[in-house]
A = this chain, B = another copy of it.
């Protein structure tokens, strides 16, 4: 699978990913409920997606699938009857998983249920209460300060009842049953970078892979954060041993980073592949960080009982930008070009996983004579030629059975793609054989 065949270079791909984010933005997602189902239905228009519904009460390792939450409306009316907080205007205004309530209460009592960000007074925070039955509203701090004394009417027209948890899977069989896992969470309501950008990128990546042959089987998981990946793992322990590489994809639509958090293993092939791509990506803001047990669903994939080689790919790191988990993470915060760059880098990572292999130099004693095979300055374009030439020497020198092409690319400081092209030329000339 060569890099050129990826849609990553196609500018309209970024626009398509952005358009998918736009379509998904208004939906009120949560860890269960119709918002997730509607999201999976839209993703399923682009790729083959199998939806699972796991009933409330199902035990999943140390957890239990919770009641299903749905919401029709929610608002607060001030003493003069004006809607001062309105779910219809922005679904972040309701604390996610709020239990139904219809009541009137004075401002002071109401305040115990109101959440705002004094340090970012114009932004509405995103809050949840999945495992404690309560209700609440989020609003801009400047709106909170402007509330007058008096009695307020509060309505949360929601349901929290036995139902099911929904997740979607897209499995693209490859030549091998060994799997690459790509995981995006689907539980955040109107937040664009976290997590619509990840959903859009994963969807279009799956679409591209569905259209061409590949070595690995690819499994894309679209599931609610934490409880979703736990549920998937609990129901798929037989799949786990086949997972060779994996990425959690989130916050890939802003212009920061890129940021990569290594898997718990630390130097798994996925860790080295991403680090290699980012080392050669030409961006100044690259950060490659060690694993830590806080973050997204890599927490579950990298729990010690699984210890999967799954890293986290982001642009700006979660929690480090002021828009994170607020109404500032909207469609203006994500960019077509950033989505496109993120897609291209992840595609390059996948090319490495696909193409990485170990070869044996068939003429290990002294250098073979490249000239008589037309391999000496054989490739046009002098800079490219020089680097292919050096890459051929590196591949010949290190192909002793103990080095993969990625090992060679790392040691030589040459982009993997160049090393891979050199290896292809050498294999064509029968100077390399498969290991």
Binding site for B on A (CB under 8 A): 60-63, 131-132, 226, 229-230, 233-234, 264, 290, 292-294, 299-300, 302-307, 361, 363-369, 371-372, 390, 393-394, 396-400, 411-412
Contacts and interface: CB of A to CB of B under 8 A. Distances in A.
Looking at chain A's contact residues, is the secondary structure mostly helix, strand, loop, or mixed? loop
Given A371-B131, A372-B131, A390-B294, A264 B366 contact: no
A63 B369 contact: yes
A233 B62 contact: no
Given A230-B366, A292-B394, A303-B366, 16 more contacts: A61-B363, A61-B365, A61-B366, A62-B367, A62-B368, A63-B366, A131-B371, A132-B371, A234-B366, A293-B393, A293-B396, A293-B398, A300-B367, A303-B396, A305-B364, A306-B365
B400 A365 contact: no
Nearest to A376: B131
Contacts of A367: 62, 226, 230, 293, 299-300, 303
B397 A304 contact: yes
A59 to B, nearest CB: 11
Contacts of A396: 293, 303-304
Contacts of A397: 264, 293, 299, 302-304
A394 B305 CA distance: 14
15 contacts: A61-B368, A62-B368, A62-B369, A131-B372, A132-B371, A264-B397, A293-B367, A293-B394, A300-B367, A302-B397, A303-B364, A303-B366, A303-B367, A304-B398, A304-B399
A385 B286 CA distance: 31
Given A371-B131, A393-B294, A397-B264, A305 B233 contact: no
Contact of A366 (B62, B361, B398, B411): B62
A404 to B, nearest CB: 14
A132 B372 CA distance: 10
How many copies the complex holds: the figure is 3
A80 to B, nearest CB: 37
Nearest to A390: B294
A115 to B, nearest CB: 15
B365 A233 contact: yes
B292 A62 contact: no
Contacts of A60: 366
Contacts of A63: 366, 369
A300 to B, nearest CB: 5
A409 to B, nearest CB: 14
A65 to B, nearest CB: 12
A293 B397 CA distance: 7
Given A230-B366, A361-B304, A412 B62 contact: no
Given A304-B398, A398-B304, A412-B292, A363 B393 contact: no
A421 B229 CA distance: 29
Nearest to A391: B293
A407 to B, nearest CB: 13
A167 to B, nearest CB: 15
A400 B364 CA distance: 39
Contacts of A293: 367, 390, 393-394, 396-398
Nearest to A401: B304
A319 to B, nearest CB: 12
Contacts of A372: 131
Contacts of A290: 411
Most chain B CB within 10 A, of A230, A293, A361, is at A293
A244 B184 CA distance: 48
Most chain B CB within 10 A, of A366, A371, A372, is at A366
Contact of A233 (B307, B363, B366): B366
B366 A305 contact: yes
Interchain residue pairs A-B with the least CB separation, the first 9: A305-B364, A305-B365, A293-B397, A293-B393, A304-B400, A62-B368, A304-B364, A230-B366, A300-B366
